[in-house]
Chain A
């Protein structure tokens, strides 16, 4: 069978014999290894990639970084564009590995392209379920799911968010009545899934769930949800809305006098800028925390601690640190580590094997594809990183700080306080 890899090998050999008389592909003649990096640098998801240039600068300046040439592509927050630039990286730039970050809309098309073109790929910043299951031919039939050979992913999963959220609520004295804001999109349907989402776990732990149904993104009115929550005497709100919808909901809830004791929200309040826009109403909202400056990890590339990396970013840009910073840095740690353990950087199979053999103590914690905490079908391609819970606390004079309040499953990550009810 003629695969792209075989064709390249044979034509390269032919090219050497024929003294490059033909336009044969060039393989790793440059001593430097070529890395492609795809992320959403413009468009609605651009906040995820804010720190990209800072991280890249740090990587290029590091000792390991000097062995690499990084080619950066913008997905424009568009899945089709992401697949297109992945193709360009593979065919035009002939990269040896592709790194990709931020949301399934970016990671999935790129990982799928890499798997088809037999190029090693490391991806992050998307819960593993939408990454792994979302790339399967038939997401509805677990029996048909196949592992990947070239595509790899490190992040946490839905089960971790559920654990963290319920542990945060457990710190408060509530009536255990939960109201859900699950939109009709990939995340909302996964969170609200009656088999793998929140409903079964909440029921098992003695919570009652009020889920009024999947609403459309960019809804202008949430009084139906607020009425449903009020009727069910809901004291805890959770969900995974997009930022404009959460602002609309939260503002309307305040206007209509609905005041829950806790609101643990994914996605919408990930970035400090988004919380800031809620004004004072953002105080003590809670969210999952994947990375923070107080995480007790340090970089295998530069030796910087998490705190130093975040402080460097704030000094360089004048902007507050955000969670993707650590993970984008860890992507490049993974790339450097994998190639350091490979003898032939031009052999995709060897590189993919090296990725899978990783035992890396990175800035986001230990990354190892050992299947810990994962179902067997995902064990080969997914590595889980620690997840804790935090609350946004308003500073004197404006602005918000993320304080870790729940570390039940990750005692190594220090907390900065305990869960407080919403005022």
Chain B
């Protein structure tokens, strides 16, 4: 029984990690940009939702709907006017700029919201649970997992069934050739970051309802997102979900043996995958 529970909790945790990772995966997959400020952007979105909730008294879900376009707009501007300038053959400038952005965001939040830890009020939903016989699972983790799947389904439809998706894939494969075909990589990149910010808002919603957040908590969330992207393989969103689940299950199984191994087990699982499948489990085509 305990083993079933451990697995189920691990899979649900993986849903949360996948949500953290999908935004990173889009940005990384399309423009090879490693966004070190990704975790902090999630925290920014969480604060934005919090502000909307406390100003209007709306449910966090509705507030997230309002916050999403604002985050997408901010992402578009950020990519268009800042990050696009750093892209090139040298991989160092984007790393440095996003690292600086991470520090700036943390300190701006600290200045604006103080170091108090905050939480999105989810009401009775926060502790609601479903009895599934063998295991009892929380409604909120279940919703998190379902949202991760919904987000990935929607993104896959966008990437493989729409003209915009074709432009994304073409730019990802070869930006120069794509621009010969009338695609503007700079605009495509900005749109991709805007979409990533939509996912970031969803991740922020569930992060903020699950536990406390404060201005400094972002970087701690970034590492799992990176690992999920790498385990899954570049460009594969289902792979990212699989990566999240592998880390989640590794953590809960490690913790069931001894809580000292919980975090370590996730990292070890990542290293083992890297050892045997250096390109991840489901790499998309050849890069």
Residues of A bordering B, CB below 8 Å: 42-47, 77, 184, 212-216, 218-225, 227, 231, 243-245, 247-248, 251-252, 254-257, 273-274, 277, 279, 281
Contacts and interface: CB of A to CB of B under 8 A. Distances in A.
B54 interface: no
B136 A255 contact: yes
28 contacts: A43-B115, A44-B214, A45-B115, A212-B259, A213-B259, A215-B260, A216-B260, A216-B262, A219-B255, A219-B262, A220-B210, A221-B251, A221-B255, A224-B256, A224-B259, A227-B256, A243-B117, A251-B127, A251-B210, A252-B138, A255-B136, A255-B139, A255-B140, A255-B141, A257-B136, A277-B118, A279-B121, A279-B123
Interface stretch (B2-10, B72-80, B83-91, B233-241): B2-10
B129 A255 contact: yes
A243 B123 CA distance: 19
A227 B131 CA distance: 15
B76 to A, nearest CB: 30
Contact of A281 (B110, B127, B136, B138): B127
Given A220-B224, A255-B129, A257-B129, 13 more contacts: A44-B216, A220-B211, A221-B251, A224-B255, A243-B212, A248-B211, A251-B140, A251-B210, A255-B137, A255-B140, A277-B117, A277-B212, A279-B122
Contacts of A184: 260
Interface string B116-144: 11110111001111010000111111000
B56 interface: no
B213 interface: yes
Contacts of B181: none
A221 B7 CA distance: 12
B263 A255 contact: no
Contacts of A219: 255, 259, 262-263
Given A43-B115, A254-B129, A255-B129, A224 B212 contact: no
B13 interface: yes
A84 B220 CA distance: 26
A137 B216 CA distance: 31
A42 B16 CA distance: 29
A217 to B, nearest CB: 9
Nearest to A46: B115
B13 A43 contact: no
Contacts of A243: 117, 212
Given A47-B116, A244-B217, A256-B138, A225 B259 contact: yes
Given A46-B114, A243-B117, A224 B129 contact: no
